[in-house]
Each structure stands twice: as structure tokens, then as C-alpha cells.
């Protein structure tokens, strides 16, 4: 993984990234046309959310053919061209690997409706459902007349779960992975990868969310599958994997990405994204920077190397979420950028984040297209929430905020800050290989050091997410290396929503 540590990843949500033919949907040629801009930004890898053939119930996370490109995005020739053109610019392409479930339109699922088919056991067909509930709300089982039974779907009914007890399934997945790796892609982002192994189908403990989860969250079977995929496929290529792992704590995450275990290279954890909610993401609370910083710091201390992110296609925009004072939106996004790019780990930037994109203006449920939002709205109404409250919940949390087309002119000032910070990562090995040490967290201020050893250069990063100046004394030998306010002189206090990188003058010899 040595080379990987130097890389910065940029997530593209193809549908809303760049539209080359004016049909209102982003596409592969659109991405190709933007590659040089991405190269100038300094990123090394692009991760594409799904572009496979899909009926689009869950925006492509319901795949009906893993080895075809959905026509809305172009053709396989476009995809091949994208991989080659990106490589010419030194950019690797990472694909989204969605293997917990397929689309209900996938030929395996259609064929599995016949009990005598070899595909029957690719899915969980049962005469009676258990009491599990799904990620999108409601029961995790649906009855299918043609199939003559109930099938399991941890997400929408259009996303039936694959059953990894049938060895045929993993062989299919290996072939799909090889198909893409042979095209020269740089790796996979593995969708909800820590829930693929269902240890039993027993009833779960009744719970407000995800009844049944104790039967499939991060089980030994998942670890075995990951080891097998690494051994038989991934290890034969120059590539990496990042797992999207739900409900993981630091111990589980360590097990999934410890190098000696040969499973994943890193994971996306959720704990820092859950600091502004009560139990589930639908019930938002006020954002408390200290709480957020403490979780981030805990993960920095616990995991040797991991993925770093503030946004993706499932989350509201960080500019609207983590910056409480709208007057300092531009400043705040720069401070967040500094944090993302100076912590230890692989930074993932989500499209539009680099120009400070905020949440969308939404007026009513009619503006919403996300299947999850519609399901949760219906569920909220069903359990008696008044319309205004159900709408308030969706308006604040819907995944559509991140999925709307980006206004690239939004805040080019923020873009300059991203460019600077990305350049520093390339120039200063301490930002990559240096250890992490928490210095303090108080009053919306987060201070940490990155250092290689006692003798060499030390960078101290101070991030303020507060609207008032905050006094902080970094010590005698510290001078400003970079401030998101562009200043060179330090006067003993951070300005509102300022990020500063101090450098230890003694150790650097500057």
C-alpha cells in the first residue's frame, strides 16, 4: 500500500457531474472532458459511483448487469476511453462494487424465481419472512408471486440480497472483478461490504432501526470472503479497496483493514457523520464541533491508516452541515478542507466540495427523487408524524442534496485553498507519513500535530469552527506556514472559522 498513501481520491457521482450531450444527465464523455481540470486540482484517483446497467431504483446501486455501461452514461467504448485518458494524466479510476445485492431486474434474480434453477440459491428465498427491517425502512422481505415465496432485501425491494452461502455467487463476483481489473482500473469502493454475510436468518432483537442486524454486521463470514477476494483476485493486480462499512467501531474497522489480515486497504466509517443526530440520521440535532472533533481524533489514534471524508453521495453537504454560521460559509469550507487534507489517511473529496457547494433549496416532496427519502417520508406519515414534521426531516437529510448538479462557479476562492493544500501534501512528506498527535479540543477549536520524529519538521494544525476569534498559543517556535485567511503573521488568536498550519521553525531550520 506504500504508493497508495500518497494518493488523493475524488468521488464522482456521474449523473450530476458533467453532461456532454445536453440531455440533462451527466455522462462518461462529460467526465473525460473534465479530466484535465481534475489533474490540475492535483487528485490521483477518481471513484465513480455506479455507471453499470441499472433500472435506477436506487440511482445505480441496483445493478442489472455488472459488465455493461448504462446507456444514459454512454457506452463501454466511452468507459475504456475514460480509463485510458485518465491514466495518461496519471489518474486511476476506481469503480463502485455493489455486491450485497443486485437489481431485481438482474438475470440471476429473474431466473432464481424458478425453484429448480441453479440461481435459486443465489438469493434468499423462503416460505416465511423473519422480523428483519430494511435500511430504507419497512420489512426486509417481500413476497414475489412468480418466485413463490419471500426474498430478502436489506435495502429496497428492488435490491434483493445475494446469498454468499452458495459458492457460485463468489465465483461470479470474482469474474466481475477480473473483468474490470483487466481493463486497468485502480480498484474498488465496496458498497456496504461488512453486511454481505448473513450468519443466520433467525429473528432479530426488536429495535427502532434495523431489527436483525446482529445476524449480519461484520461477521466472520465477511472476513473470509474479503480474504478470498484478496487472495484470488485483488492481489494479482495493482489496485486497492476501500470498504463502505456501516455501524463499525474502531475495533471492527481495524480488523477489516489491518495490513497483515489482507482484507481491505481502508474503510469509510460513519461515527463522525453521526455526531449531529440522535440514534438515526433522520433525527438531527445541533452540530457540536467538539463532539465531531473528538470522534475524528479517536479514529486517528485507533487506526494506522484509513479513509478520510466529509461528504459523499449519501450525505448532506458539509458546507451546510458543519458550518453553523452562514456568514462564514466560505471561511468554514476552507477550514474543513485543511482538516481533511492534513489528517493522517487517504482524503476523499466529493464533487463540488472543492467549490464549497451547499445543500439544495427544496420546497416539497415533489422536488425529491431519492427512494430512501420517499420511503422514510411514507413511514413517518404512517406512524403519525404530521406532514410538516415529516417534510422537515427529509428536507434536512435527503441524499438529493449531494446528488444535484454542481455549480462550478460557486466559490472559486475555496478551490484555490484546495489546490494549495493538495500541493502541500505532495511537497511535505510529514503530512502523509507523519504520526498524528492530538494537542487539544475545546470551544470549537481542534489542534493536532503531524510529525515524523523529534528532529525533523513538525506541522501543527489548528482548525476553528466557531464564529468568534479564539485565543491559542502554539508555543514560541511556531510560525504560520499557511492560513486559510491568507495571513502570514499570527497575533495569538484564530479568526472565525480559520484554519492555520503552524510550522516548528527550530526543527525545520527555516
Residues with catalytic annotation?
A: 191, 244
Q: Residue 25, interface with Ca ion (CB under 5 A)?
A: yes
Q: Residue 314, interface with ligand TEU (CB under 6 A)?
A: yes
| Nearer Cβ to ligand TEU (58/265) | 58
Which residues, 228 to 287, sit near ligand TEU by CB under 6 A?
244, 246, 281
Partner from Ca ion, ligand TEU, none binding residue 163, C-beta < 5-8 Å depending on class? none
DSSP 162: B
> Nearest CA to 1 among 237, 233, 240?
240
Cross-strand partners of 462: 447, 500
d(CA 86, CA 81): 8
d(CA 235, CA 241): 11
> Considering only residues 5, 6, 19, 505, which one is a binding residue for Ca ion as defined by CB under 5 A?
19
> Nearest CA to 82 among 162, 165, 175, 18?
18
Q: Residue 33, interface with Ca ion (CB under 5 A)?
A: no
| Nearer Cβ to Ca ion (82/264) | 82
d(CA 377, CA 392): 10
CB of 385 to ligand TEU, least distance (A): 19
Q: 246-284 in b/e burial notation, b at 16+ Cβ within 10 A?
A: bbbeeebbbbbbeeeeebbbbbbbbbbbbbbeeeebbeb
Residues 6+ apart with CB under 8 A from 380: 282, 389, 390, 393
Neighbours of 117 (CB within 10 A): 13
Partner from ligand TEU, Ca ion, none binding residue 98, C-beta < 5-8 Å depending on class? ligand TEU
Give me the residue whose beta carbon is nearest to ligand TEU: 61
| Nearer Cβ to ligand TEU (313/425) | 313
Size of the site for ligand TEU (CB under 6 A): 14
> Considering only residues 1, 21, 36, 199, which one is a binding residue for Ca ion as defined by CB under 5 A?
21
CB of 59 to ligand TEU, least distance (A): 7
CB of 430 to Ca ion, least distance (A): 43
Neighbours of 221 (CB within 10 A): 15
Here the cell at position 48 is 465513480
| Nearer Cβ to Ca ion (25/295) | 25
Q: Residue 75, interface with Ca ion (CB under 5 A)?
A: no
Partner from Ca ion, ligand TEU, none binding residue 44, C-beta < 5-8 Å depending on class? none
Q: Is the CB of residue 78 less than 8 Å from the CB of residue 70?
A: no
Partner from Ca ion, ligand TEU, none binding residue 23, C-beta < 5-8 Å depending on class? Ca ion
Binding positions for ligand TEU, rule: CB under 6 A: 58, 61, 98, 135, 155, 191-192, 244, 246, 281, 313-314, 372, 399
Binding positions for Ca ion, rule: CB under 5 A: 19, 21, 23, 25, 27
Amino acid at each position: 500500500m506504500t504508493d497508495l498513501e500518497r494518493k488523493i481520491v475524488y468521488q464522482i457521482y456521474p449523473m450530476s457531474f458533467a453532461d456532454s450531450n445536453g440531455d440533462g444527465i451527466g455522462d462518461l464523455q462529460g467526465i473525460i472532458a473534465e479530466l484535465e481540470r481534475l489533474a490540475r486540482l492535483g487528485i490521483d484517483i477518481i471513484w465513480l459511483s455506479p455507471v453499470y446497467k441499472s433500472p435506477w431504483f436506487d440511482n445505480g446501486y441496483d445493478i442489472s448487469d455488472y459488465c455493461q455501461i448504462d446507456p444514459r452514461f454512454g457506452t463501454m467504448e466511452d468507459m475504456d476511453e475514460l480509463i485510458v485518458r485518465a491514466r495518461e494524466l496519471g489518474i486511476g479510476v476506481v469503480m463502485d462494487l455493489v455486491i450485497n445485492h443486485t437489481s431485481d431486474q438482474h438475470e440471476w434474480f429473474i431466473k432464481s424465481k424458478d425453484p429448480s434453477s441453479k440461481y435459486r440459491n443465489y438469493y434468499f428465498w423462503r416460505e416465511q419472512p423473519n422480523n428483519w427491517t430494511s435500511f430504507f425502512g419497512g420489512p426486509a422481505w417481500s413476497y414475489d408471486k412468480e418466485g413463490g415465496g419471500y426474498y430478502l432485501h436489506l435495502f429496497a425491494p428492488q435490491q434483493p440480497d445475494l446469498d454468499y452461502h452458495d459458492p457460485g455467487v463468489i465465483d461470479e463476483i470474482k469474474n466481475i472483478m477480473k473483468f474490470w481489473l483487466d481493463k486497468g482500473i485502480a480498484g474498488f469502493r465496496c458498497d456496504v461490504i461488512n453486511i454481505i454475510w448473513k450468519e443466520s436468518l433467525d429473528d432479530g432483537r426488536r429495535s427502532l432501526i434495523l431489527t436483525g442486524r446482529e445476524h449480519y454486521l461484520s461477521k466472520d463470514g465477511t472476513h473470509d470472503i474479503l480474504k478470498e477476494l484478496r487472495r484470488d483476485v485483488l492481489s494479482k493486480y495493482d489496485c486497492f479497496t476501500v470498504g463502505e462499512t456501516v455501524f463499525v467501531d474502531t475495533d471492527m474497522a481495524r480488523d477489516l483493514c489491518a495490513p497483515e489480515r489482507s482484507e481491505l486497504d481502508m474503510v469509510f466509517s460513519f461515527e463522525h457523520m453521526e455526531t449531529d443526530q440522535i440514534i438515526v440520521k433522520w433525527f438531527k440535532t445541533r452540530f457540536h464541533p467538539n463532539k465531531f472533533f473528538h470522534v475524528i481524533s479517536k479514529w486517528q489514534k485507533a487506526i494506522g491508516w484509513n479513509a478520510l471524508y466529509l461528504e459523499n453521495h449519501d450525505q448532506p453537504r458539509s458546507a451546510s452541515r458543519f458550518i453553523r454560521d452562514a456568514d462564514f460559509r466560505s471561511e468554514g469550507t476552507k477550514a474543513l478542507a485543511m482538516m481533511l487534507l492534513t489528517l493522517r489517511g487517504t482524503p476523499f473529496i466529493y464533487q463540488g466540495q472543492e467549490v464549497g457547494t451547499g445543500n439544495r433549496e427544496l420546497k416539497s416532496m415533489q422536488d425529491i427523487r431519492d427512494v430512501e427519502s420517499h420511503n422514510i417520508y411514507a413511514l413517518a406519515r404512517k406512524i403519525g408524524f404530521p406532514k410538516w414534521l415529516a417534510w422537515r426531516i427529509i428536507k434536512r437529510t435527503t441524499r438529493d442534496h449531494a446528488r444535484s448538479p454542481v455549480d462550478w462557479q460557486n466559490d472559486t476562492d475555496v478551490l484555490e485553498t484546495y489546490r494549495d493544500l493538495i500541493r502541500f501534501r505532495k511537497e511535505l512528506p510529514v503530512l502523509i507519513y507523519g504520526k498524528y498527535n492530538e494537542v487539544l479540543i475545546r470551544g470549537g477549536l481542534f489542534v493536532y500535530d503531524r510529525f515524523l520524529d523529534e528532529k525533523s519538521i513538525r506541522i501543527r494544525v489548528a482548525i476553528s469552527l466557531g464564529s468568534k476569534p479564539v485565543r491559542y498559543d502554539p508555543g514560541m517556535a511556531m510560525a504560520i506556514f499557511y492560513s486559510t485567511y491568507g495571513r502570514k503573521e499570527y497575533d495569538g488568536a484564530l479568526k472565525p472559522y480559520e484554519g492555520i498550519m503552524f510550522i516548528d521553525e527550530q526543527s525545520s531550520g527555516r
